[in-house]
């Protein structure tokens, strides 16, 4: 077993795997995945080659928003197990060389949280733990985020005889971070879980912590002051911890969440990159990807972007223009049921029309572009979705382990499952499951595992510099990653047709490209542009080597 090594910047070379506890494996036949089930499946994740498990919320909750409506920060939803199960899971993951981070919802609680129930009472000492007003027009410059369900950021409460503020669903009242007691409570909850052995947090919805009249209530200076305080507390009491900011903003705004000198969050998601990868594939030109990367500011040396293809939410189109959003809807959400808020609620494989070569291309870009890649559970076998389920549940269905009953996820009665397993002829569990992929040596699962292994052998993908090449052929996205003596050339064809490209590799004249999947050496780089032909949606990873290093 691989033991965890102490490394304060381990997140830079890691591959994250995002999973719901309830979605992975049910150990006690109650229809819900649980921590005992996760423990049973750790061998699979260790075999796959991921480095970090990111758990979505598992706290006590009425589950009106998939667990993001927390009613107790200190307890675990009983269906998932108990604290002893959680601690054993973290310990066993660490034994296998896998770190564990979890979602922590900073901005709000459930309206069933005891804090809010007490705050509703007139004269309560906890009244100021939430944001109240007699005027529903206050903070009117703040946008409504969940436009499909919420008409306002204020909801009237009869008991409190006032409106309470919420940036998301009406059953998720925002905490008042101007109250120092609230800040102390949040810090205490973070420390509680870190004391149990966690390796970090994804901090949910961090741009919205404070409210100020005349602003949009996002990315305010007070938010960054609080995050600096969180980082200082974490660094003072723990080692090798990562804080990952969920800030669905433009890169110029998100970069502030790293702090001036990397003294806020270690990582932040690069949200605008993901939709532009899909846009580039449909337009069959590299420009959407290159342009957003050109607009991405430099970040502190100790920080890293988190990049992803899909996750538990809709494919967000907030950080695109109106014209680009219309284009994406037209191309990827032809059925109105696929749309949600300002996004598309679909999994990766259906978005790519179950195309094996596109899936390979997208994962090759995910694992080679600058940043730490985050894989969503089931994408390694091409799982589909169910657009007929409400809200975002369509992309949160049970993991498909085998063609057996309930996809091998649970031995409970089918009606007991928290969500139905997929049963359609293309993505249903009879056609798409881990067991079948394991038996086929040429399956996407085996291919993906091989690509992860190659990436792990080359820290350049996590640590290296990034230089985009600009060939005349617009369908080719080519770039150089360099870290010390390790130089890797990545060439991606975002077109659905075979392409030829000439690359200016003159700085590497005399070197040999060695293709990393098969270790085949290509012809020497000379004075002239280097000619390559690439199949439709194909890619190459070349290590540039000297003749004597072969």
What angle (nearest 5°) sits at the alpha carbon of residue 83, between those of residues 82 and 86? 95
Q: Contact 61/48 with Cβ under 8 angstroms?
A: no
**Burial class of residue 186, CB neighbours in 10 A (0-12, 13-18, 19+):** buried
Q: Contact 47/132 with Cβ under 8 angstroms?
A: no
Residue 133 half-sphere exposure toward CB, CA atoms < 13 A: 17
- State the catalytic residue, choosing from 204, 264, 360, 385: 204
Paired tokens of 62: 């009425």
Beta strand ranges found along 328-410 (DSSP E): 339-340, 343-344, 372-376
DSSP 161: T
* 132-152 residues labelled b (16+ CB within 10 A) or e (exposed): beeeeebbeebeebbeeebee
3-state secondary structure of 201: strand
Order of strands across the sheet that contains 339-340:
315-316, 343-344, 339-340
Task: List Cα–Cα distances, 228 to 261, 262, 547, in angstroms.
Answer: 11, 9, 49
What angle (nearest 5°) sits at the alpha carbon of residue 187, between those of residues 185 and 189? 70
Q: For residue 453, is it left (φ>0), alpha (ψ between -120 and 50) or beta?
A: alpha
What is the distance between the terminal CA atoms of the chain, rounded to a whole angstrom? Answer: 31
- State the catalytic residue, choosing from 26, 246, 264, 314: 246
Has 246 been annotated as catalytic? yes
DSSP string, 42-105: HHHHHHHT--EEEEPP-EE---SSTT-S-SEEEEE-GGG--HHHHHHHHHHHHHTT-EEEEEEE
Report the alpha-carbon distance of residue 294 to residue 387 in Å, rounded: 35
Which residues are known to be catalytic? 204, 246
């Amino acid at each position: 077993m691989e033991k965890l090594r102490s490394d304060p910047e381990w997140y830079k070379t890691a591959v994250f795997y995002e999973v719901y506890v309830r979605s992975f494996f049910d150990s006690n036949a109650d229809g819900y995945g649980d921590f005992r089930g996760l423990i049973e499946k750790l061998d699979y994740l260790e075999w796959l080659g991921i480095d970090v498990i990111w758990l979505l919320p598992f706290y006590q909750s009425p589950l009106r928003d998939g667990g993001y409506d927390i009613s107790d920060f200190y307890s675990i939803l009983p269906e998932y197990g108990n604290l002893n199960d959680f601690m054993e899971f973290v310990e066993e993951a660490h034994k296998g060389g896998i770190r564990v981070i979890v979602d922590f919802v900073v901005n709000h609680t459930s309206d069933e949280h005891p804090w809010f129930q007490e705050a509703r009472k007139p004269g309560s000492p906890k009244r100021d733990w939430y944001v109240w007003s007699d005027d529903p027009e206050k903070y009117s410059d703040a946008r409504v985020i969940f436009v499909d369900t919420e008409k306002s950021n204020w909801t009237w409460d009869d008991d409190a005889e006032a409106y309470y503020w919420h940036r998301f669903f009406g059953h998720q009242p925002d905490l008042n971070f101007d109250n120092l007691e609230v800040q102390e409570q949040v810090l205490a909850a973070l420390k509680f879980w870190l004391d149990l052995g966690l390796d970090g947090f994804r901090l949910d919805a961090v741009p919205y912590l404070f409210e100020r009249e005349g602003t949009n209530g996002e990315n305010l200076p007070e938010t960054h002051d609080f995050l600096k305080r969180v980082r200082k507390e974490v660094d003072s009491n723990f080692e090798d911890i990562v804080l990952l900011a969920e800030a669905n903003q433009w890169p110029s705004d998100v970069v502030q969440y790293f702090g001036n000198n990397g003294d806020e969050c270690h990582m932040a998601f690069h949200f605008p990159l993901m939709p532009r990868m899909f846009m580039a594939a449909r337009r069959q030109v590299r420009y959407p990807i290159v342009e957003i990367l050109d607009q991405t500011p430099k970040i502190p040396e100790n920080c890293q972007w988190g990049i992803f293809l899909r996750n538990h939410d809709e494919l967000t189109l907030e950080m695109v223009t109106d014209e680009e959003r219309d284009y994406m809807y037209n191309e990827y959400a032809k059925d109105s049921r696929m749309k949600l808020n300002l996004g598309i609620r679909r999994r990766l494989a259906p978005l790519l029309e179950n195309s094996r070569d596109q899936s390979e291309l997208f994962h090759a870009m995910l694992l080679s572009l600058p940043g730490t890649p985050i894989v969503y559970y089931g994408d390694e076998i091409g799982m589909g979705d169910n657009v007929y389920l409400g809200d975002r549940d369509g992309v949160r269905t049970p993991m498909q382990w085998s063609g057996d009953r309930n996809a091998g996820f649970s031995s409970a009665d089918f009606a007991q499952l928290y969500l139905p397993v997929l049963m359609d002829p293309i993505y249903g569990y009879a056609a798409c499951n881990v067991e079948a992929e394991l038996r086929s040596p040429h399956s996407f699962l085996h291919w993906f595992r091989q690509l992860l292994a190659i990436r792990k052998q080359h820290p350049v993908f996590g640590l290296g510099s990034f230089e985009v090449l600009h060939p005349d052929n617009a369908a080719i996205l080519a770039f150089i990653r360099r870290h010390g003596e390790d130089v890797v050339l990545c060439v991606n064809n975002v077109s659905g047709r075979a392409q030829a490209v000439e690359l200016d590799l003159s700085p590497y004249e005399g070197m040999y490209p060695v293709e990393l999947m098969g270790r085949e050496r290509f012809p020497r780089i000379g004075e002239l542009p280097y000619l390559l032909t690439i199949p439709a949606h194909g890619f190459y990873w070349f290590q540039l080597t000297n003749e004597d290093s072969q």
